[in-house]
A = this chain, B = another copy of it.
């Protein structure tokens, strides 16, 4: 391969593994030279790059995404109680205005009830076994030696607690789905490392061969029935009852209209499309909050598998949202970066003891976005809102 001069320079740049601002600058300038593009905005980041040394390699700066907020949003959660301002980062015009209208309607009503009914982070290695008999032997061994396996897994982490290890077999493939309590961390790395240790023990004792510490039954960053049904991260439920008058005044429509839109679109439409998401646009709210708050934006994928319902109850409007796979944390990962930790602080959601609170707020803000969009579509406002506010 004939590498041109600038490119060769870049390859050299890549070899610079330095994490200081000078290293970042050197790499960025090399890339500017190579690409003939100015990277001024990318270069004008304002945090100490050493804070990002565990978050990225080959750093050349930062991308700035516009950040706003919605609220106040009243949440009556098991963990989050009060009225919250929620930071959201997006480039999609009309999103925050839409969500904010939902917040207003919900807060004017009695707020959003929120709860977490399951909380487990999973990792499922795949082993090659000799045949189904061997697979069953390995599965039995795992059951019988769960205490040892747990000790091995928990030996790698201060915070993770192994809760269960469930086998799924098919021919020469054995998947063991490990489920952990990961405290306030989203916990993916923690469970990967713990499961890797546990898997090595299983290999030694059973003759099974570890093929991959992730066998895609985890299921991380792919839509899946497995997570939809069994949950991953937090299963969050939220709901609210809106008086008819609030629907009419704040949302400019009626409970009947919202109920019909929800039925024909979120339920019938998604069933016709065989979608794993029976909602309007939960992914929008998740992406905007995840990016603002240092969560893993690729996990919006699992988060998008959510079900929104709307029902008429004694003339008022009942709405609910079920998020079976919401994966968030308030320690570690991107939450350590300055802008992101500031965003979490706005809701007093930074650090230990805050993950469940944060998850409930996220669920509530998703419900606000769903409600508002259902109302807008019902009144033919979606397109016109985009015309005036959007691109």
* Top 8 A-B residue pairs of the complex, sorted by shortest distance between their CB atoms: A91-B334, A216-B269, A222-B277, A171-B320, A223-B223, A225-B225, A196-B383, A37-B345
What B residues does A380 contact at CB under 8 A? 196, 210, 213
Chain B neighbourhood of A225, CB < 8 A? 225, 228-229, 273-275
Mark out the residues of chain A between 113 and 144 whose CB falls within 8 Å of any chain B CB in the assembled complex: 113, 115, 117, 124, 126, 128, 131-133, 135-136
List 21 A–B pairs whose Cβ atoms lie within 8 Å, in order of A's numbering. Answer: A10-B71, A10-B72, A38-B345, A52-B66, A56-B91, A66-B337, A117-B136, A131-B239, A131-B241, A172-B309, A173-B269, A219-B270, A221-B284, A222-B275, A222-B305, A223-B304, A224-B275, A267-B267, A271-B307, A274-B276, A276-B276
A146 within 8 A of B: no
- Nearest Cβ distance between residue A150 and chain B, in whole angstroms? 17
CB distance from A56 to the nearest CB of B (A): 4
Residue A69 at the chain B interface, CB threshold 8 Å: yes
A322 and B221 in contact, given A63-B339, A212-B378, A383-B192 (Cβ under 8 angstroms): no
Q: Which residue of chain B lies nearest to A92 when distances are taken between CB atoms in the complex?
A: B296
A1-45 interface code vs B (CB 8 A; 1 in, 0 out): 101100100110010000000000001000100110111111011
Q: What CA separation (Å) do A239 and B319 show in the bound complex? A: 30
Within 8 A of B (CB), among A128-184: 128, 131-133, 135-136, 168-173, 175
Please indicate the chain B residues that have their CB under 8 angstroms from the CB of A332 in the complex.
391
Verify A238–B132 contact, CB threshold 8 A: yes
Interface residue? A81 (CB, 8 A): no
Residues of B within 8 A of A192 (CB): 382-383, 386
**Cβ distance A212 to chain B, nearest Cβ, rounded Å:** 4
Please judge, given known A-B contacts A34-B85, A322-B171, whether A378 and B348 are in contact too, CB under 8 Å.
no
Which chain B positions have C-beta within 8 A of A44? 46
Interface contact A67-B59, CB-CB below 8 Å: yes
Contact indicator B91/A113 (Cβ below 8 Å): no
CB of A390 closer than 8 Å to a CB of B = yes
Can you name 20 extra interface pairs (CB under 8 A) apart from A35-B345, A57-B96? A41-B46, A45-B64, A60-B68, A64-B338, A92-B333, A113-B132, A131-B239, A132-B238, A193-B387, A196-B384, A214-B265, A216-B266, A216-B270, A217-B272, A222-B276, A222-B283, A222-B304, A222-B305, A229-B229, A274-B274
